[in-house]
Amino acid sequence: MLRSPLLIALVAGLVSATGFAPLGLWPLLLISLAVLAHLVFRAGSMKAALGLGWAFGVGHFTTGLNWIAHAFTFQDAMPHWFGYGAVILLSLYLAIYPAMAAGLAWRWGRSSPTTFSLIFGAAWIVTEWLRATMFTGFAWNPLGVVWVDIPAAAKLAALVGTYGLSGLTALLAAALAAPRVRGNIAILIALPLLALGAFFAPTSRPTHDGGARIRVVQPNIGQQDKHVATLDRLNNAKLAALSGHPGARPRLIFWPEAAVPEFLEEERWVRERLAKLLGPKDLLLTGGLALIAGNDGKVIGARNSLFVLDSEAQLLGRYDKAHLVPYGEYLPMRPLLSAIGFSRLVPGDIDFWSGPGPQTLNLDGFGAMGVQICYEIIFSGQVVDRANRPDFLFNPSNDAWFGAWGPPQHLAQARLRAVEEAMPVIRSTPTGISAVIDAEGRLLASLPHMTAGALETAMPPPHNPTPFARLGQILPFALAMILAGLGVALGRRRR
């Protein structure tokens, strides 16, 4: 029997992660958060409240991020078992943010359960934003993403963003911990927000199959096969076969991140080989590497890039990944860490350099495209060039690193970006889950994990910008201020 509040909080955190994909047991997430809220409200000191939040966070992230350990099996520079240690070490750090939310709620919300619930929700908004921002940020699995399959709840992200939706989730859980609070919370918060969400809901527009087509390719090339020279011909053949044949209508063909191991800018023969797959008006979008040379001509870095190639073997555009993965695409403090045996998970001796951030590429005949490579898509409010809004987002990714839990979690977060920005998201990954997502976050088509195939369909249309697409993080912070203000006002009224 569990007697220690810290142990109860730890177990609640472990269980809470089952609310995310692939399990999707969101009621367990709410119950687990309610347990945390109950424990924190009854804590006898700030130190105890912080400890409870931290213990919950350790369990929460250790379970939810178990897929990270899988990435260590694809390199031999460090022992594979260290992947499990890396998950725990990362969780020990990330748990600081739920601890801060618990501490803030305890400090300002002790006057009543209603006040505590409101402050708890406000604090979760702020601390989840901090988690996505501090030390390059790690925004994986925000609470709000558990609602992506419940449209009535998910569309609130169009109004208050992902972090606002996470705060409402924390508020709801805290209210469940104190039944007498539920009616007050519904009147003060839930009903006005639902009304606003319905008011600002985008009007659906039909797609038109008479125009250009899109084709999303998933070759099912595992990470262990990507850098084996003897498999290059087989891998190229898979991509070529799944790209289909030119037809009467122009096609936009989507390949995954790092699909081409050669250097497209330097090697014209590679571009000519790929151009043979295209009809006169087709375009190929493929991940690849862009090399960076120093003054002496030697390669000093590389960029993880997305290239636009036409049937004449011309490169029409390039996007460079801006939000790089520490230890995956570059090694922080390289001189020190490499000296003690640390290495990047991605093979290679040079680090990737970051690009300038969200950009819009105009594709003749296909509209305007924004690009977010791999985990860039998880950063709410940072995926679109707001001065030049695209018609759709392309998210080429390499989820072959991510085991069984990572790909469905990644997909869920991409779907929430579609809701926030009111635009389609197209995902192409080597091993899945590739998908066509409409502007309301619905899956129109997808390919299962570890399955080779291709999706061919019409491009779903964008909707008009949502309030969040127009104003960004102003809205979740405004919600946090409203919740905190109501909580403080109610607390003072009771005194």
Q: What is the DSSP letter of 6?
A: H
Omega into 250 within 30° of 0, i.e. cis? no
pLDDT at 78 over 60: no
Catalytic residue among 226, 238, 257, 420: 257
Helix (H, G, I), strand (E, B) or coil at 205: coil
- Per DSSP, the residues of 431-448 read SS-EEEE-TTS-EEEEE-
* Highest CATH level, class, for 213-465: alpha beta
Least confident of 133-137, 194-198, 298-302: 194-198
* Residue 226 appears among annotated catalytic residues: no
Least confident of 63-67, 90-94, 287-291, 491-495: 491-495
Classify each residue of 402-420 as buried b or exposed e, where b means 16 or more C-beta atoms within 10 Å of its C-beta.
bbebbbbbbbbbbbbbbbb
At residue 230, the pLDDT reads 76
Cα 242 from Cα 427, distance rounded (Å): 15
Cα 333 from Cα 342, distance rounded (Å): 10
**438, two tokens:** 């409409």
What are the Cα distances from residue 191, in Å, to 35, 194, 323, 325?
25, 5, 37, 40
Residue 341's pLDDT band, with cuts at 50, 70 and 90, is very low
What tens digit of pLDDT does each residue of 426-472 get? 999 999 899 999 999 999 999 999 999 999 999 999 999 999 999 99
- The predicted model gives 219-238 an average pLDDT of 82
Cα 143 from Cα 250, distance rounded (Å): 40
List 316's β-bridge partners, or say none: none
- The predicted model gives 479-483 an average pLDDT of 93
Helix (H, G, I), strand (E, B) or coil at 326: strand
Question: Average pLDDT over the chain, rounded to whole?
Answer: 87
**Considering only CA atoms, which of 261, 258, 256, 257 is closest in space to residue 228?**
261
- Per DSSP, the residues of 101-156 read HHHHHHHHHTT-HHHHHHHHHHHHHHHHHHHTTGGG----S-GGGGGTT-HHHHTT
What tens digit of pLDDT does each residue of 270-295 get? 999 999 999 999 999 999 999 998 88
- Please tell me the number of Cα atoms within 13 Å of 319 on its side-chain side: 31
| 408, 186 contact by CB (below 8 A) | no
| 287, 306 contact by CB (below 8 A) | yes
- Neighbour-count burial of 292, counting CB atoms closer than 10 A to its CB (0-12 exposed, 13-18 middle, 19+ buried): middle
What tens digit of pLDDT does each residue of 258-270 get? 899 899 999 999 9
List where CATH 3.60.110.10 sits in the chain.
213-465
Helix (H, G, I), strand (E, B) or coil at 462: coil
| 460, 248 contact by CB (below 8 A) | no
Helix (H, G, I), strand (E, B) or coil at 244: coil
At residue 57, the pLDDT reads 98
36 or 1, which is more confident: 36
Catalytic residue among 238, 321, 376, 420: 321
What are the Cα distances from residue 34, in Å, to 39, 370, 442?
9, 39, 29
Catalytic residue among 374, 376, 420, 440: 374
196 φ/ψ angles, rounded to the nearest 5 degrees: -65, -40
Q: What is the distance between the terminal CA atoms of the chain, rounded to a whole angstrom?
A: 38
Handedness of CA 40, 45, 50, 51 (dihedral sign): negative
Cα 334 from Cα 68, distance rounded (Å): 21
Residue 17 identity (one-letter amino acid): A
* Residue 321 appears among annotated catalytic residues: yes
Does the predicted TM-score (pTM) go above 0.95? no
